[in-house]
Amino acid sequence: MSVPQPPARFETVQVAVRDGIGALTLDRPAQLGALNAAMLGEIGQVLDEWEADDAVRGIIVTGTGERAFAAGADIAEVENWSMADGLANAMQRLYDRIEEYPKPTLAALNGAALGGGLELAMACDIRIAVHGATMGLPETALGVLPGAGGTQRLSRLVGAGRALEMVLTGRALTAEQAERHGLVTTVVPAEDLLDTATEIMTTVLRKGPLAIRLAKMVIRPGSDTDQRTGMLLEQLAQTLLYTTEDKAEGTAAFLAKRRPEFGGR
């Protein structure tokens, strides 16, 4: 007799935690990972839980299958969006939260990342992709803009000229083109994607957690302001870190030629 299984906690995402890494998998393969209201809500719920969970120190976001990471917003829902929905923009708020998340995030693009899917990836700290993945913002073909941070994050990552070409034409980049333009940092065979993502995140998690958190807080805002202000932010962050137990442990471990044991204090 088969043993009944408990119902899945989520309908549109899968979650797992191992060795300090939370894996969040977008799970609407029949819709090519299209982002609907239910998925956005479940992603937000997972972020809430993992932010409060000390066992989760970093997050990898990926998709299901080989075709798509997320092929944009669910057009069936977009068709009914109003001006009020445009102003409220739950997707933009969620992606802002991902960008400001206190723990490191990595998007592992298993396939096409288009529209809201690429905007989700750009909100993450690090992006890697498989050969054959494509990345683009085709919203102008629908008579709208990339409205979840796409116009702003893309221009900061690849430059205004390349961003304008991508948005105005709607053309997608190949993974290799995206790597050349700095949109992703690594391109790997599909079978190596999750291992590579895990290796990168594991490397990040071996570093001082306070330093990682402050680096995130300094680099993003620093790129949005003048260099002098950015340098001041860097100086303030470094001054804070010099008072921490992690700084003492890191320097002691370096001198003793051993791996540091950071406590996040």
Strand partners, 76: none
Q: Mutual orientation of helices 209-222 and 245-256 as an angle, nearest 10°?
A: 110
8 A C-beta contact, residue 253 and residue 259:
yes
Query: By three-state DSSP, how is residue 146 classified?
Result: coil
- Residue 81 CB partners (closer than 8 Å, separation 6+): none
Distance CA 195, CA 21 (A): 12
- Which tokens belong to 142? 């629908």
- Residue 173 CB partners (closer than 8 Å, separation 6+): 134, 135, 136, 166, 181, 183
- Where would I find the H helices in the chain? 37-51, 75-78, 83-88, 90-99, 116-123, 150-158, 160-169, 175-180, 193-205, 209-222, 227-241, 245-256
Tell me which residues are annotated as active site.
Answer: 119, 139
Q: Mutual orientation of helices 116-123 and 90-99 as an angle, nearest 10°?
A: 30
Distance CA 149, CA 134 (A): 19
